[in-house]
């Protein structure tokens, strides 16, 4: 065996992940909302970037008549803007300096913030209690109520931490538990449900026993076991279970959570116009970027700047141009991918979810002449608004099940939709089992196994046969 050092010349190909390429990849997978924040941060770091004002009025050229006092007016306007931002002048000074306000602001421009659960409880506390010490106890307890509406601290721990008397803490907690929403301030689920029954005047010994002992059996549909243990009929247990299911297990869920997104902004909008589907990449929220003209002139007139300044501006200009190019490339890639999806899933857009076809990333990548990873990044965390509703773009990439009726494969989402229709029309006193659902789907030409039916049923959040069964 000959060991030694040798010099060998070899030519290979490899991908160099430059900072610009990393930025382009990151921009591609950002949603419209995240891209807006990213652009705002980039503008803070790069002085060459500025927003394009597309709706500005055309300014007179140098050859046209130019007032001698224009430079002075621009100087006054700039200083008015600067001082107004610093809060040193009033709007009247801007008008006196010749600054015309384009938009008048009023209270209609501001949206009131939805109160949090703690704000809502504190307002009721101020109306219910007047003693200063009770107010302190109430504020302490409300501060330990989480966003779900449950008390995170035990009474013994509250006594040790706050130093208040145990009986006073218990008394104030009972007051808080009478507040809206019903069930707030409970320490566990059972107490939360019992508080709601008290407020509604529906608490009975039977209900109290079922909630305290048999709550898990209610969830699993073991009504016969509850009837045998409580000595009442199954029909009565079913009636009590229906009442319990009307209660709210999370009393604080309807209140505002700081930083929570309560709505989805679609990245792409698909509309049908004159029989054709039109794709609109919804990037209105993303500012239109351009290079500042003053810095462009400074680069051209190199004699007016030192070498360090020119190099700094050139590096920032390169970064700005690459960001603008990356945003435009993101828009074109997203448009191309969605166009391929629409061409493939046009029956779904016309007729509904029953006609959704199985689709994977490789198929779209081949149609769009892109790499699978590019398609994956372009569709991640993005939503499309279609005539059939709002969907995540990943929704269209679904597996399939063999179907003799369709002459090939049918999408899993279509099978789930068919299962929902069957379960909706079933006899509630004799619901279908998973095997019966499997047989019904096979009669429709869908070749599916029972365990797959059980899997799909759980994914669409349909209870089991025992949990769906009703008693006469």
CATH code for the domain in which residue 458 is found: 1.10.10.60
Place of tokens 């390169």: 318
Judgement on whether residues 279 and 238 belong to the same structural domain of the protein: no
Question: For 341-364, what is the mean pLDDT?
Answer: 89
Q: How confident is the model at residue 65 (pLDDT cuts 50, 70, 90)?
A: very low
Same domain (yes/no): 305, 423: no
280 and 371 inside one domain: yes
Q: How many domains does the chain have?
A: 3
The answer as to whether 210 is a domain residue is yes
Q: What is the pLDDT of residue 192?
A: 94
The domain boundary residue, chosen from 396, 423, 439: 396
Largest Cα–Cα separation, the chain:
99
Reported pTM: 0.65
Q: Is the dihedral of CA 412, 416, 417, 421 positive or negative?
A: positive
Same domain, 129 and 220: yes
> Do residue 199 and residue 277 come from a single domain?
no
**Predicted pLDDT of residue 58:** 42
Cα 94 from Cα 97, distance rounded (Å): 5
Q: Would you state the pLDDT for residue 5?
A: 78
Rounded Cα gap, residues 171 and 167, in angstroms: 6
In whole angstroms, give the CA distance from residue 264 to residue 176. Answer: 35
Residue 34: helix, strand or coil by DSSP? helix
**Listed residues 396, 415, 440: the one ending a domain:** 396
Domain that holds residue 342: 268-396
Q: Does residue 24 fall inside a structural domain?
A: no
Same domain, 142 and 191: yes
DSSP structure class, residue 353: G
* Pair (163, 175) in one structural domain: yes
In degrees, rounded to 5, the angle at the alpha carbon of residue 255 between the alpha carbons of residues 460 and 149 is 85
Question: Does pLDDT of 290 surpass 90?
Answer: no
pLDDT, residue 299, reads 66
Residues 229-247 have a mean pLDDT of 90
A 10 A CB-CB count for 455 gives 13
Q: What are phi and psi of 186, to 5 degrees?
A: -75, 155
72 Cβ partners below 8 Å, 6+ apart? none
Q: Does residue 134 sit in the same domain as residue 203? A: yes
Residues 277 and 342: beta-carbon distance below 8 Å: yes
Q: Give domain status of residue 33, yes or no.
A: no
281 with 330, same domain: the answer is yes
| Residue 163 maps to a domain | yes
Q: Are residues 388 and 404 in the same domain?
A: no
List, for residues 200-209, the tens digit of each pLDDT value: 989 899 999 9
> pLDDT tens-digit profile of 150-180?
999 888 998 888 888 999 999 999 999 999 9
pLDDT of residue 121 exceeding 60: yes
In a domain, residue 55? The reply is no
The least confident of 18-32, 195-209, 270-284, 286-300 is: 286-300
β-strand pairing of 289-291 with 49-51:
antiparallel
Domain-ending residue, one of 377, 396, 415: 396
pLDDT the model gives residue 178: 92
């Amino acid at each position: 065996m000959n060991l030694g050092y040798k010099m060998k010349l070899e030519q290979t190909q490899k991908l160099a992940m430059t900072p610009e390429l990393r930025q382009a990849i990151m921009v591609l997978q950002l949603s419209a909302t995240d891209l807006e924040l990213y652009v705002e941060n980039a503008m803070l770091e790069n002085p060459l970037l500025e927003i394009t004002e597309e709706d500005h009025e055309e300014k007179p050229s140098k050859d046209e008549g130019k007032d001698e006092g224009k430079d002075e007016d621009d100087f006054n306007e700039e200083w008015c803007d600067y001082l107004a931002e610093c809060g040193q002048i009033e709007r009247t000074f801007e008008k006196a300096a010749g600054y015309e306000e384009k938009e008048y602001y009023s209270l209609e421009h501001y949206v009131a913030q939805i109160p949090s659960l703690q704000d809502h409880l504190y307002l009721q506390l101020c109306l219910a209690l007047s003693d200063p010490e009770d107010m302190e106890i109430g504020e302490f307890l409300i501060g330990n109520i989480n966003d779900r509406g449950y008390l995170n601290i035990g009474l013994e721990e509250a006594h040790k931490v706050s130093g208040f008397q145990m009986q006073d803490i218990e008394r104030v907690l009972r007051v808080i538990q009478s507040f809206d929403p019903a069930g707030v301030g409970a320490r566990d689920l059972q107490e939360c449900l019992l508080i709601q029954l008290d407020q509604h005047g529906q608490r009975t010994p039977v209900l109290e026993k079922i909630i305290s002992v048999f709550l898990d059996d209610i969830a699993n549909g073991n009504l016969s076991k509850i009837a045998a243990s409580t000595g009442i009929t199954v029909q009565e247990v079913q009636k009590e279970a229906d009442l319990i299911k009307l209660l709210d297990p999370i009393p604080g869920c309807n209140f505002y959570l700081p930083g929570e997104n309560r709505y989805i902004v679609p990245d792409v909008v698909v509309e049908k116009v004159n029989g054709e589907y039109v794709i609109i990449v919804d990037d209105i929220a993303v500012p239109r970027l351009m290079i500042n003209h003053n810095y462009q002139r400074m680069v051209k007139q190199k004699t007016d700047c030192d070498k360090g300044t020119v190099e700094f501006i050139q590096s920032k200009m390169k970064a700005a141009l690459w960001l603008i190019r990356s945003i435009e490339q993101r828009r074109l890639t997203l448009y191309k991918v969605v166009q391929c999806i629409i061409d493939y899933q046009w029956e779904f857009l016309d007729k509904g979810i029953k006609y959704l076809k199985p689709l994977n990333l490789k198929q779209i990548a081949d149609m769009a002449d892109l790499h699978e990873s590019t398609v994956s990044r372009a569709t991640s965390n993005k939503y499309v608004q279609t005539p059939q509703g709002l969907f995540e773009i990943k929704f269209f990439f679904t597996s399939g099940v063999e179907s003799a009726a369709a002459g090939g494969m049918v999408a899993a989402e279509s099978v789930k939709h068919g299962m929902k229709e069957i379960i909706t029309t079933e006899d509630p006193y004799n619901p279908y089992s998973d095997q019966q659902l499997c047989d019904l789907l096979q009669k429709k030409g869908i070749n599916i196994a029972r365990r797959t039916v059980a899997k799909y049923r759980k994914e669409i959040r349909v209870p089991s046969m025992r949990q769906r069964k009703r008693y006469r």
